[in-house]
């Protein structure tokens, strides 16, 4: 890797001061697993990294109450996976984590990093969007709240300013809602997905009262499938309706071609997996295929 400088501030406030909104060569680093790949391949060559690993410990904690989970942005995916509270309030997160990357990467990668990186192939962002999670973001002028749904601006792009940091992720309790995350990997089950679809549904065995459907990986960014949601909301689910929803979902997405599939292939996958994710959520089964 090309040499760079590294600062290790001991508070979030100090880290924000070290970031410069006008200098893209200075960048925060949390777990670093994704950023290391970019630096090794020469895609990103920073002059200075601001490590967040020594900031206050409270940003690595998980708090739970009847409102749901408040997850510090520096919480590792491994800590999230092992937490006893996460499956009580958002079991879909625990199930998704088991299908994501591997033990070592989960031990280091953080939830804040997974979001701020803006990589559309990651599995957690669509799940958090489908669960209606919101972020606390801290910058020089104070803090603001932002739904995860509004975080992504495009391919590896977020709406975060270069001197803003995600400090906390709030996940509302899943309660009686059922959730599923289905992904398609064209190689092994643990490869980067060609498509991910998350569904979180309020309803009974057949009737959908309300739902949130989110697609990722096949798209330029994690994307809410609003046309498909509109078709399904308040309806009794039939095969025909699910087919219509799959077709409608295509119009909601900006597809990208990559080594995991062409655009026409991913459009076909979307039709099938919207159907499977909705059925999967209603049946209480998620899947990684």
Partner 1 sequence: MTAARTITFTLNGAPVTADVKPHHNLIEMLQGEFGLTGARESCGQGLCGCCSVVVNGRAVSGCLYLAQFVDGADVVTVESLDTREKLSPVQQAFIEASAFQCGYCTPGFIMMVTQLLDENPDPSDEEIKHYLTGNLCRCATYPEVIDAVKLAANKRKAVATA
- d(CA 28, CA 190) in angstroms, rounded, equals 27
Out of 19, 33, 86, 174, the residue judged to bind partner 1 by CB under 8 A:
33
* Contact between 40 and partner 1 per CB under 8 A: yes
Using the contact rule CB under 8 A, the part of the chain among 67-75, 98-106, 202-210, 222-230 near partner 1 is 98-106
Q: What SS3 class is residue 32?
A: coil
Out of 6, 13, 251, 285, the residue judged to bind partner 1 by CB under 8 A:
6
* Contact between 102 and partner 1 per CB under 8 A: yes
* Contact between 258 and partner 1 per CB under 8 A: no
Q: Six-digit token pair at 136? A: 């606390």
- d(CA 99, CA 190) in angstroms, rounded, equals 6
Determine whether 283 is exposed, middle or buried from the number of CB atoms within 10 Å of its CB (0-12, 13-18, 19+). Answer: exposed
Q: Listing from the earlier edge strand, what are the strands of the sheet with 134-139?
A: 62-65, 68-72, 165-172, 134-139, 142-147
Using the contact rule CB under 8 A, the part of the chain among 20-28, 130-138, 185-193, 275-283 near partner 1 is 185-193
* Contact between 38 and partner 1 per CB under 8 A: no
- Among residues 264, 240, 267, the alpha carbon closest in space to that of 251 is found at 267
Minimum CB separation of residue 108 from partner 1 in Å reads 5
Name which of 190 and 204 has its Cβ closer to partner 1. 190
Q: Six-digit token pair at 49? A: 């990294």
- d(CA 50, CA 36) in angstroms, rounded, equals 14
Interface map 188-227 toward partner 1 (x if CB under 8 A): xxx-------------------------------------
Residues lying near partner 1 in the complex (CB under 8 A) = 1-6, 8, 29, 32-33, 36-37, 39-40, 47-49, 51, 53, 78, 98, 101-105, 107-108, 188-190
């Amino acid at each position: 890797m090309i040499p760079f400088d590294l600062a290790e501030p001991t508070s979030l406030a100090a880290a924000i001061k070290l970031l410069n909104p006008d200098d893209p060569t200075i960048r925060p680093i949390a777990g670093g697993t994704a950023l290391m790949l970019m630096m090794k391949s020469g895609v990103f060559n920073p002059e200075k990294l601001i490590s967040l690993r020594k900031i206050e410990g409270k940003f690595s904690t998980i708090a739970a109450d009847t409102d749901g989970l408040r997850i510090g942005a520096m919480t590792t995916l491994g800590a999230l996976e092992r937490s006893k509270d996460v499956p009580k309030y958002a079991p879909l997160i625990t199930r998704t984590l088991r299908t994501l990357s591997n033990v070592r990467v989960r031990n280091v990668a953080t939830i804040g990093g997974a979001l701020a990186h803006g990589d559309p192939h990651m599995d957690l962002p669509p799940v958090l969007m489908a669960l209606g999670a919101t972020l606390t973001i801290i910058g020089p002028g104070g803090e603001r709240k932002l739904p995860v749904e509004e975080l992504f601006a495009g391919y590896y792009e977020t709406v975060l300013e270069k001197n803003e940091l995600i400090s906390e992720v709030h996940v509302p309790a899943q309660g009686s809602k059922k959730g599923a995350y289905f992904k398609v990997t064209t190689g092994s089950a643990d490869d980067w997905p060609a498509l991910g679809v998350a569904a979180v549904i309020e309803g009974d065995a057949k009737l959908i009262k309300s739902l949130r459907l989110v697609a990722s990986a096949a798209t330029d960014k994690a994307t809410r499938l609003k046309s498909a949601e509109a078709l399904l909301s308040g309806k009794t689910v039939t095969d025909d309706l699910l087919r219509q929803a799959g077709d409608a979902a295509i119009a909601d997405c900006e597809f990208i071609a990559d080594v995991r599939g062409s655009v026409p292939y991913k459009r076909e996958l979307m039709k099938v997996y919207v159907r499977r994710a909705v059925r999967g959520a209603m049946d209480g089964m998620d899947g990684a295929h």
